[in-house]
Structure 1
């Protein structure tokens, strides 16, 4: 999953040797070719922390209510109500919970929400709501589209919702895969030929004798050396993360490309584990952080882990969303002052830095004791 995570471990569920079928109706290579030519992309992504005024927050809350009720036609589920409360706490930063004034979009939504950033973030928040009921109802997506039109916003999340409503899951997967190759698989932020070849290598079934030829001794030695660094450093924590979970280190024959190490760094920084719930939260954290794959990560994980849609390879359970933890993870990622997937950031520049110091330097909000207790109970915390 890359989610999934990526979604965030979207391609990683065969790490332990399972042969994942990415597309039963066509060859893996054909799937990759289609991914290269997949649909158009949007240049601007990323959750930005906003602090709306009370009136602006009230307008956003009413718009959220309009989405989950499909304009007053459907009673909201308890988990949708919990999600609206969690969004108010973590993404709108309201001091006291606001009650929606109506079940329809405000007629003056655009007038009350001036500015490109505020409007864009509002549409992104609204786009996260339709998968929460596990149905992705067209009526709810239509309200998101109406809000986007009022605000003059065209966003990747709205496009993904349209595809989800139409059942265009393969199309979604191909566009997500193409973008992930550039920003996750490649250490440079640009998809190179070798990155596409790495994708082909990962997707091919095991071939006796071939994998032994794919070992990168120099790269493997660099990652093995991380295990000899001081125990407080990011490098040591990253090596430990790989080893304790049985993940092959970059450079080993069955490993993922080096750029995927940024996904593991997100885990280590956020403290979210590699369990299903941990992957969902790590996708939320990384989606909140990055400007490149924000809505890909957030919607992929909600569609696959909450709505049970098979968007990306790997498990597709239903009902895994824990609203407070999820939207808190989005906010923690958005608070970071460094985008790990922007292309310029390099793991090796900070592997000797103490992990606690790095979290402070990057502006990552610390988890409270209560949050840690809840995450441990959910088996979502690295311990």
Structure 2
């Protein structure tokens, strides 16, 4: 996620984050806000930790100092700080929308979804997030119901088990312990998950790349780990990444709002340092595991370390709670 901006442009992005966090006054800025801005400065911009941070920058100042594609990257940072307090706060979201409009991004899906959620249309906004996620995962338009049809899609083996497919996954147990496939098998076994093909198993189209990201990136299945793996995915698979991956996972695992009957939820799981690092690690990958051509079974025999190196997955520096 490292953005190639000069020092003044970096200050504009960080200052806009502060301006959004001051929506209810300077005294209302929380330690979580300050930690998020400091983490963005360190992880995204590569600044030394503990440095002096800029003062607030309003939308006009942001647009004047940060034009073009870089504004879209800055809006991602602004979105995180707008939600880090753990709520959909209308005052903060209104300031986020003002920044988006000033930089020509007012029509972005995630901006629209947040504006709707903040002003009495949460259900409609959640439906848009779910639809964007399904379209990103499946690679095609999603016209089905965002509750019942999504559940049916994600749990296809309850009505039509596929024992032959399940057997392929169970066979991974017999690969060498250092292999990617053996790690994948134990990820499922240790978490008590049903394999694709078994009743209660998730669709292989979704869970194989998703859980491969868990295994390869080293993110567990706790709420913080789920936020990080979806953030990693958003940068690796940039198909409407904010609306389809980042926003839904923050809503689900940080704000505690369930998206559907299949997904769980929690509160307070967004950890800014690890979050920004997950985005950077995903953006550095050279292989998209959600791409149509990626073949899971073709790489299961490779050692996990060799596969991480081949896919350019750098080691984690931040703990999950940083």
Indicate the structure whose relative CO is greater, using CA pairs within 8 Å and at least 6 residues apart: 1
Cα pair 2:173 2:181 within 8 Å, conserved: yes
Deviation at 1:98, TM superposition (A): 5.5
Query: Counterpart of 2:113?
Result: 160
Once the 2 structures are TM-superposed, how far is the Cα of residue 312 of structure 1 from its aligned partner? Answer: 4.1
Q: What is the distance in 1 between the residues matched to 2:76 and 2:227?
A: 18
Residues 172 and 346 of structure 1: CA distance in aligned 2, closer, same or farther (over 3 Å): farther
Query: Pairwise mapping of residues 84-233 of structure 1 onto structure 2 (< 5 A)?
Result: 84-95=37-48, 99-105=52-58, 107-116=60-69, 118-153=70-105, 154-184=107-137, 186=138, 189-190=139-140, 199-200=151-152, 211=158, 214-233=160-179
Partner of residue 302 from structure 1, selected from 236, 240, 250:
250
How much has 1:101 moved relative to structure 2? Answer: 4.0
The alpha-carbon distance between structure 1 residues 361 and 167, as it changes in their structure 2 partners (threshold 3 A), is farther
Of 52, 62, 65 in structure 1, the residue corresponding to residue 18 of structure 2 is 65
Mapped to 2, the partners of 1:362 and 1:258 lie a distance apart of: 21
Tell me, what secondary structure is at the counterpart of 1:320?
coil
**Do 1:234 and 1:351's aligned partners in 2 also have CA atoms closer than 8 Å?**
yes
* 2:3–2:45 Cα contact (<8 Å) kept: yes
Alignment TM-score, normalising by the size of structure 2 = 0.85
Distance across 2 between alignment mates of 1:167 and 1:105: 26
SS at match of 1:317: coil
Matched, 1:236 2:189: no
* Matched-pair contact (CA < 8 Å) for 2:21–2:81: yes
Distance 1:245 1:293, change over 3 A: farther
Which residue does the alignment assign to 2:298? 349
The answer (yes or no) to whether the contact 1:57–1:94 under 8 Å persists in 2 is no
Shift in alpha-carbon separation, 1:59–1:240, aligned structure 2, 3 A: same
Deviation at 1:270, TM superposition (A): 1.1
C-alpha spacing 1:356/1:275, structure 2 compared with 1 (3 Å): same
Q: Aligned in 2, Cα 1:135/1:89: closer, same or farther, shift over 3 Å?
A: same
How many residues are paired up? 316
**In the TM superposition, what whole-angstrom CA distance separates every residue of 1:210-251 from its partner, at most 9, and x where no partner exists?**
94x622123222222222222222222111211111111111
The answer for unaligned runs of 5 or more in structure 1 is: 1-47, 205-209
1:258 equivalent in structure 2: 204
Shift in Å, 1:362: 1.7
- Secondary structure at the counterpart of residue 129 of structure 1: helix
TM-score by length of 1: 0.73
Could you tell me how far apart the structure 2 residues matched to 1:55 and 1:157 are?
A: 27
Q: Provide the aligned C-alpha RMSD in A.
A: 3.0
Q: Deviations over 1:13-53 (max 9, x none)?
A: xxxxxxxxxxxxxxxxxxxxxxxxxxxxxxxxxxx541211
For the 8 Å contact 2:232–2:281, the answer to whether it is kept is yes
Determine if contact 2:223/2:266 at 8 Å carries over to the other structure: no
